[in-house]
Copies of this chain bind each other. A is one copy, B any other.
Amino acid sequence: MKPHRVTMLGTGLIGDFYTNTLHSSRAPDRVEVVYSRTEERAEAFRQRWGIPHATTSVAEAISHQDTDVVVVGLPNHFHEEAVALACATGKAVLCTKPLGRNATEAKRILDMTEEAGIFAGYLEDLAYTPKSRKAVAAVREGAIGDVTWVRSREAHPGPHSAWFWDAEQAGGGAIVDLGCHCIEVVRLFVGKENRPLQVMAWMDTLVHPIRAEDNAVVLIRFESGALGQVEVSWTFRGGMDLRDEIAGTEGTIWLNHFLRTGLEIYSAGGEAGYVAEKSESSAGWLFPVGDEVAELGYAAMFSDMFDALETGRAPQETFYDGYVVNAVMDAAFRSAASGKWEPVEMEWRGGETARIKKTAATHDGHDVVKEEILPDGRRKLILADQATGAIFDEVVGPGTG
């Protein structure tokens, strides 16, 4: 295992999360250089996390001789420039979500890393939560049969920095901020080789005095027939709602990453007030998680990235994944404008996926829709005529095929 030295670009909330994840572990990887646009923020961050160097020069930060990995934790409109600088150094680059503000930008970012031949990892933490990993493994082992529907939802009262709210800088509103997470989670469960064909989106600005959407629902039709259902909101009240639901032909999975994870605190408040993270209040019933950087996937994400880097394999989440997510979001914005299903336009590398299996039993040449056991032991069959589609009952003796 090789210790990595990291250039951290950006000192916002995500920079804190990333650095906290790296520095709170016995793993040997540490941030060596931090960059911020302002000296005050760079220096404060440096001291907060015990980082050797701070700078306001992004080029200097990226090319610093002591680091081998560049983490891009900047606002969306700075991703392309930062990745370009990293490409020139040949260092590994890890970029926060979304990869670009749109698929065109994301494709340029993807292309430049492939041309430079550098290691590139897409920092989609929610694709790495402990529950998601366990659940994806269960799906792969056949626990729920073929996946038919995935709901992924992320909602909270809105982000902390100004640029998120500005569609120019961010590329959009809640869809770009939160939907990118949900789209990739949906892909994990339907299978990354399952092509997203079409998108239908609703979006609106219902509450905040902004121009970007603060609420959206995005439906995605995959090649297998499965439906992805993405729900995002910047107007949710009560904390951070982070849930996924997966339906399959043979089972169901429900994931709740926050608010209802088995840790429940009622506090009368008192003088000082106890503040749980992601909570809107300091009293009443509060629902924190146990270990936030683990529960939100940051810990497993960096482990995967560094292990992939060392062993020469691709990480679970690549820049190509980030590009696909951007392409789906682009289709969502087009659909919101056109009011109809829009195709997902992108370069597809994922192969083909067969339609969900539909293999009904038959009885006397008819499809069996449903079978029930009657109290007297006979079986009631609901049958469908294969030619006409007409449906009818038939009661048969026990054991008869």
Contact = CB atoms under 8 A, between A and B. Distances in A.
A254 interface: yes
Nearest to A272: B142
Interface in A235-254: 235-239, 241, 247-254
A165 to B, nearest CB: 5
A202 interface: yes
A334 to B, nearest CB: 13
Given A142-B272, A165-B382, A285 B288 contact: no
A192 interface: no
Contact of A267 (B1, B27, B233, B250): B250
B149 A215 contact: yes
Interface in A49-86: none
- List the number of copies, as a whole number: 4
A26 B204 CA distance: 44
A204 B219 CA distance: 13
B356 A206 contact: yes
B263 A134 contact: yes
Interface residues of A, number: 119
Contacts of A166: 389-391
A237 B221 contact: no
Interface in A190-205: 200, 202, 204-205
Interface stretch (A94-102, A311-319, A323-331, A365-373): A365-373
A270 interface: yes
Contact of A26 (B1, B145, B231): B1
A261 interface: yes
Given A1-B28, A143-B267, A210-B391, 5 more contacts: A130-B291, A142-B272, A148-B207, A168-B390, A209-B384
30 contacts: A28-B28, A129-B290, A130-B290, A131-B263, A133-B290, A133-B291, A134-B291, A138-B267, A141-B272, A141-B274, A143-B274, A145-B268, A149-B233, A158-B370, A160-B370, A162-B369, A162-B382, A162-B392, A204-B227, A206-B249, A207-B249, A209-B358, A209-B368, A210-B389, A235-B249, A238-B285, A250-B269, A252-B266, A339-B341, A340-B341
